[in-house]
Structure 1
Amino acid sequence: MSMTLIGGIFGLALLYYGAEFLVKGGSAIALKLKVSPLVIGLTLVAYATSAPEMVVSCDAAIKGLGDVSIGNVVGSNICNIALILGLCAIITPLQVNKKLLQFDVWLMIAASLALLGCFFLNSGVNRIEGAILLLCSIAYTVWSIYASRRESAMEESKSAQDAATEITAPPSMNMLPAIALAVGGISALVLGGKLFVNAATLLAQLCGVSDAVIGLTVVAVGTSLPELATSLVAAVRKEQDIAIGNVIGSNIFNIFTILGVAPLISPLQAVGINYVDIFLMLGLSLILYIFMKSNLKISRTECAILLAVYIAYTVYLIMR
């Protein structure tokens, strides 16, 4: 038992340093590839921090647990918006890149609507729907990188110096060290999250908390720990594009990629999923758009609202 608890403390350290490495490495990769930190947050960082959700949902699909596979994604998306962005905005009000409002946030909302549509059609996600979702993920990733590189090239032709100062990563870092730093950060995040969840689960069991409540709270938040750690560190380091982009990109990735791959393994039937959860995920996406559009900033008052929603939702989960 003591070793598990010590492992939990070590896991927290891995989460912190893993997030630091991923943010630094991701920023350096953005500089070398001539794409914006926002796009790196929406793609590389978001996809990397969603690795635990991918593992959990695919493993659940193999075991025929459609409720777990889809519930993991829905719960993670709710946590990303209500808890993670709420905590980040407490540290510092988050300045919003207006480019997010033009496409990415709307795509996140569209992805939520697509999942809702799948439920109305067949109470799950079949292979054809999964393939369509996966194609959307590939198209979005390719388009994001292409559009950012094209924009960077245009800006560079006007003012190379101004374009370079937009990224805070050290310009002397070569690509290989940057990739190594990012990969090391991802590995530390995944391992740290696993160690922390194991310790938190043990503590909850010692306190007499039921397995159901543990699954709905500790494990659900546990798969979002990489996003939480990375966005918090990015907010502290004033890499706000990465902090917000990580959350929005993760939510897009969770639906399009994870629920695109998992049904290809085995069609997902989720008759036990509560529509309240899906509508809350969609509602939070719409609320986030409203908050982001107001003065292009997520304020501390707005973050308090998000956190209050998450606390109320957690209480609802425990009581239902």
Structure 2
Amino acid sequence: MVEQSVPLAVLASAVALAVLVRSAQTVVSAVTRIAIHYDVPDVVVGLTVVAVGTSLPETAAHVIASLGILGGTLDYEVASATVLGGNMGSSTTQQLLLFGMFLVGYGRYRPRPRFLKTTYVPMLAAFVLVLAVAWDGTLSRLDGGLLVLVYLGYTYWAVNNRERVGVPVERESRRIARDSALVVGGLVGVVASAYVVIAAVEVVVEALRLGGSIVGVVTIGLAAALPELSTVFEGLRRRSPDLAVGTLVGSNIVNPLLALGLGGAISGYAVPPVVVYWDLPVKLVAGVGLLVWLRYGTGGDFDRREGFALIVAYFAFLGGRLLLFPGQ
């Protein structure tokens, strides 16, 4: 009977993932229009609405899974592995695959020194912090609260330093009530679809005896990166690297600090070994390696060669994960 429910669970998960992504995009667009109407500075919109909004799928999945763990409706280890895999999968997809695609499509890109100091280096610091608190195989509520506080502190500092970030092109809201209703409806869609995804993944994991982490990587991880993918395409169309790269790096700060931190603060998580010994080290080595290569291996810019290398690195990441940590 359980095996017979797998196709239905997969179908439900696919539909829910589509709703999840679309709902998140609706929320970001509507809130951006409202913010423009009230003359909210671009730096604030970029660091709050865009950064958090594009990570809504991951954040909602964490919150829903943690509430399910807390209420006893979801298995602690399976739910933990699923959302952690989704978080790592999404952020690594953005860091390697999507950034690589951007470089291949854009050509030569020279990161601003200020951007590297105020955004890229904090992203690497976020990876180190998550690795430190998860090293013992658990993420406690205290650890989760610490991650959220660090994120809030970083956002406050970044806004005050007026770091320039790209903001999607949206017209000023002319109908505040309608856009407010879209925000509420979009958030309901995000929460409801995240619940369906988590429940469906648990059915698949139980029936097929798969690792919840790898299922999270290939479901939540890939689907949750779609908002950032659309931003990359928009950045290429507008020839606006700040929009594309700022969103990708910003999401790699939001995901490990805010999304993971909120979930951890609610219920705590059991951290699969693959996250500690593969996912986070790969992200950190790739991030530091790219910075070192920029400093010593290039003339201070990236081109399509680095883009292709990042795309290859992404598939190497997936392959290594499957070969070295089967069943996780």
* Structure 2 residues without counterparts, runs of 5 or longer: 1-6, 198-207
Q: Does 1:135 align with 2:149?
A: yes
Q: Where do 1:87-102 residues align within 5 Å?
A: 87-93=101-107, 94-102=109-117
Q: CA contact under 8 A between 1:193 and 1:222: conserved in structure 2?
A: no
Change (3 A) 1:177 1:73: same
Q: CA contact under 8 A between 1:26 and 1:182: conserved in structure 2?
A: no
Deviation for aligned residue 1:298:
3.3
Change (3 A) 1:243 1:13: farther
Equivalent residue pairs, number: 293
Larger RCO (alpha carbons 8 Å, 6+ apart) = 1
Q: Which residue of 2 aligns with 1:286?
A: 288
> Residue type of the partner of 2:282?
L
Q: CA contact under 8 A between 1:42 and 1:248: conserved in structure 2?
A: no
- CA distance in structure 2 between the aligned counterparts of 1:263 and 1:83, rounded to whole angstroms: 27
- CA distance in structure 2 between the aligned counterparts of 1:235 and 1:64, rounded to whole angstroms: 41
Deviation for aligned residue 1:215:
4.5
Q: Which residue of 1 aligns with 2:50?
A: 45
Q: CA contact under 8 A between 2:168 and 2:243: conserved in structure 1?
A: no
Percent same amino acid among aligned pairs?
23
Q: CA contact under 8 A between 2:51 and 2:250: conserved in structure 1?
A: yes
Deviation for aligned residue 1:210:
9.5
Aligned to 2:76, the other structure's residue is in SS state coil
Q: Which deviates more, 211-220 or 105-114?
A: 211-220
Q: Which residue of 2 aligns with 1:226?
A: 227
* Structure 1 residues without counterparts, runs of 5 or longer: 153-165, 197-208
Q: Which residue of 2 aligns with 1:204?
A: none
Deviation for aligned residue 1:267:
1.9
> Residue type of the partner of 1:98?
P
> Residue type of the partner of 1:244?
V
Q: Does 1:105 align with 2:120?
A: yes
Q: CA contact under 8 A between 1:137 and 1:257: conserved in structure 2?
A: yes
Q: Which residue of 2 aligns with 1:156?
A: none
Aligned to 1:298, the other structure's residue is in SS state coil
- CA distance in structure 2 between the aligned counterparts of 1:74 and 1:309, rounded to whole angstroms: 15
Deviation for aligned residue 1:99:
2.2
Deviation for aligned residue 1:172:
9.8
- CA distance in structure 2 between the aligned counterparts of 1:27 and 1:171, rounded to whole angstroms: 5
Deviations 1:123-170 (Å, cap 9, x if unpaired)? 22212222121111112222222332xx89xxxxxxxxxxxxx99766
Q: CA contact under 8 A between 2:144 and 2:263: conserved in structure 1?
A: yes
Q: Which residue of 1 aligns with 2:92?
A: 78
Structure 2 residue aligned with 1:35, among 38, 41, 54? 41
Aligned to 1:72, the other structure's residue is in SS state helix
Q: CA contact under 8 A between 1:115 and 1:255: conserved in structure 2?
A: yes
Deviation for aligned residue 1:72:
2.5
Alignment RMSD (CA, Å): 4.4
Q: CA contact under 8 A between 2:19 and 2:190: conserved in structure 1?
A: no
Q: CA contact under 8 A between 1:137 and 1:253: conserved in structure 2?
A: yes
Change (3 A) 1:15 1:264: closer
TM-score by length of structure 2 reads 0.69
Q: Which residue of 1 aligns with 2:265?
A: 264
Deviations 1:32-52 (Å, cap 9, x if unpaired)? 64634x664443212111111
Q: Which residue of 1 aligns with 2:315?
A: 311
- CA distance in structure 1 between the aligned counterparts of 2:23 and 2:110, rounded to whole angstroms: 24
Q: CA contact under 8 A between 2:148 and 2:258: conserved in structure 1?
A: yes
- CA distance in structure 2 between the aligned counterparts of 1:30 and 1:71, rounded to whole angstroms: 35
- CA distance in structure 2 between the aligned counterparts of 1:192 and 1:231, rounded to whole angstroms: 24
Q: Which residue of 2 aligns with 1:277?
A: 279
Deviations 1:32-85 (Å, cap 9, x if unpaired)? 64634x664443212111111112223155442333333332222211100111
- CA distance in structure 2 between the aligned counterparts of 1:24 and 1:44, rounded to whole angstroms: 10
- CA distance in structure 2 between the aligned counterparts of 1:26 and 1:265, rounded to whole angstroms: 28
